Amino acid sequence: MSLTLLLVAGACGGSKHMAVQVEGHYTYQHGWSYDIAEGHIDVHETGTMDFYHDGTALDSARQNYSITLKDGGSILLVFNYISPSRWRTECEDFYFAGIAETFRMTLIDVTTVRCENTLATDLARRIILNVGKGIARETKFHLDKLTPQELVWSYTYSDGHTDTWEFYRSGK
């Protein structure tokens, strides 16, 4: 069965008939930031997303965690992020979850400035554990755009801010 997104009047509350396949190979860049007890983290990732017809996906990215410490030091942690995943759509909702058993997040580089390497190693371990703990939780995204060239989804957090991911289809 193909998991083609089909917005049909009545079934999804839309007024247009549109059929576009999600399946394909996409590239993306995304960033976010948050605070931790030790300081502030800015994350940037560049990756690829492959959506398959059987409802599986593969999210592969290089993630850079730039940490500004409260004491003036800094840490750059670079990870290789591999997340086999599952996906499905329901009207304008896009559900996505990683598969915990096959998820991998590997530290590939560490740069420190005025900081102990033990703190960098500890933060890397904590990041991997925290990401891994939530990887299998199915997240409901809003499907903002789906064209033959682009997939855009968004998520609104409990504090009211919305984050958007833009995926661009490419040949593989």
The terminus-to-terminus CA distance of the chain in angstroms comes to 22
Q: Is pLDDT at 17 greater than 90 in this prediction?
A: no
- Residue type (1 letter), 36: I
CATH, domain range 24-170: 2.40.160
Instruction: Kindly report the pTM of this predicted structure.
Output: 0.87
Q: Which pLDDT score is estimated for 47?
A: 98
Q: Whole-angstrom Cα distance, residue 113 to residue 12?
A: 53
Q: In the chain, where are the structural domains located?
A: 24-170
**In the numeric block, which tokens belong to residue 60?**
């592969």
pLDDT 10s digits, 56-111: 999 999 999 999 999 999 999 999 999 999 999 999 999 999 999 999 999 999 99
Query: What is the mean predicted confidence (pLDDT) over 120-144?
Result: 97
What dihedral angle (degrees, nearest 10) is formed by the CA atoms of 96, 98, 99, 104? 160
Each residue of 94-124: b (16+ CB within 10 Å) or e? bebbbeeeebebebeeeebeebeeeebeebb
pLDDT band at 6 (very low <50, low <70, confident <90, very high): very low
